[in-house]
Amino acid sequence: MKLAPHPFSLRQLQYAVAVADARSFSEAAWRCRVSQPSLSAQVAQLEDALGTRLFERDRRRVLLTSAGEQLVARARVVLREVDDLVDLAQRSTDPLASTIRVGVIPTLSPYLIPCIRPALRRAYPKLTLLWVEDKTPVLVAKLAAGDIDGALLALEAEIGDVEREIVGYDPFVLAAPASHPLMTRKAPAKVAELAGESVLLLDDGHCFRDQTLAVCSGAKAQELEFRATSLPTLAQMVADGAGVTLLPLLAVATEAKRARLSVRPFAAPVPGRTIALVWRRRSPLGAALQQIARTARDAFASLDRDRAEHGRSGGTRQRP
């Protein structure tokens, strides 16, 4: 089957969309970095090719016609698809020189991303990472739908059938005000010590809640009826006397310090979560995401070494 050439160009569609956005030929020309006569001529050619007027023009304003509203809307879709085509081509030649969308859960993003971002920038200077923060079920759905390319999650959560690369292990610590009886003991905490204690946890939807709830339920701790919406709120509520809680070690330097909480590490087997970068099976970005995960793992390991060195040099876990 022979394919006839299209009567208009993508550039002409771009000019029409620019005029529709700016409601001005002169402003659209400035945005497109062309002269106004050239842009006006191209839009006129597009209108001739389509056989209808897209804009009403006078000396004061530019308005879309009824047909123009519909046609410009379709032009936006066409241009978006072309952008996706170009992006796909760029990704196929060098995915680490393109844009990759990565989801991250709220109990990780403020603590892990600042740790790994400098290493990722050094390793992949041409890569743009767009971080999308949301709860695990939402990110898993976005990943399946193709709205994101990968996600930093805890493997202990329900994440479906995905490829994965482990970034590191984030142990949990016991956190409470310094005056709490559990904080007067110097030895690592045993999970059994939580028996009968009032424990404050995160609200439903956070996978960290499910992970800590499993620990507390096993110890027959008593969960408080009210729940926190975030780790900063959780730490502050515990600081105000709402029982005790568990914090991921990644968050201790920020949240326990800010809320002036004391913390105790747990004795083995230490409860915690396994952080991993996950992506769809057969994703064309699989190899690139695996490289990113390994770089993140090296940065995370450096953080662990720094924490261990701080502990050997006289740092204390009682008051971060």
Measured distance CA(14)–CA(72) in Å, rounded: 9
Could you tell me what percent of the chain has a pLDDT over 90? 48
Measured distance CA(180)–CA(270) in Å, rounded: 21
Q: Please indicate whether residue 194 or residue 251 has the higher confidence score (pLDDT).
A: 251
Amino acid letter for position 62: V
Please give the structure tokens belonging to residue 72: 């410009």
Does residue 264 sit within a domain? yes
Structure confidence at residue 320 (pLDDT): 40
Indicate if 268 and 174 belong to the same structural domain. yes
Measure the N-to-C terminal CA separation of the chain; round to a whole number of Å: 72
CATH assignment of the domain containing 74: 1.10.10.10
Band (101; pLDDT cuts 50, 70, 90): very high
List pLDDT tens digits, range 139-168. Answer: 999 998 889 999 999 988 888 899 999 999
Does residue 317 sit within a domain? no
Helix (H) or strand (E) run with residue 74 in it: helix 66-93
Q: Does 317 score more than 60 pLDDT?
A: no
Does residue 242 sit within a domain? yes
Measured distance CA(196)–CA(50) in Å, rounded: 75
State which of 91, 117, 136 marks the end of a domain. 91
Indicate if 150 and 117 belong to the same structural domain. yes
Measured distance CA(283)–CA(91) in Å, rounded: 12
- Beta strands per DSSP E along the chain: 55-57, 62-64, 99-104, 128-133, 150-154, 163-176, 198-199, 222-223, 245-248, 262-265, 272-279
Indicate if 284 and 140 belong to the same structural domain. yes
Does residue 228 sit within a domain? yes
Please give the structure tokens belonging to residue 195: 């028996």
Indicate if 163 and 302 belong to the same structural domain. yes
Indicate if 159 and 173 belong to the same structural domain. no
Q: Does 310 score more than 50 pLDDT?
A: no
Q: Domain containing 211: what range? A: 169-272
Measured distance CA(6)–CA(17) in Å, rounded: 18
Indicate if 19 and 45 belong to the same structural domain. yes
Q: How many structural domains is the chain composed of? A: 3
State which of 91, 115, 130 marks the end of a domain. 91
State which of 66, 91, 116 marks the end of a domain. 91
Query: In three state form, how does the secondary structure of 40-71 look?
Result: HHHHHHHHHHHCCCCEEECCCCEEECHHHHHH
Taking the CA atoms of the chain, what radius of gyration do you get in angstroms? 27
Band (54; pLDDT cuts 50, 70, 90): very high
Structure confidence at residue 14 (pLDDT): 96
Measured distance CA(104)–CA(72) in Å, rounded: 35
Indicate if 84 and 106 belong to the same structural domain. no
Query: In this structure, what DSSP letter does residue 253 have?
Result: I
Please give the structure tokens belonging to residue 162: 């995905």
Indicate if 107 and 24 belong to the same structural domain. no
272 beta partners: 171
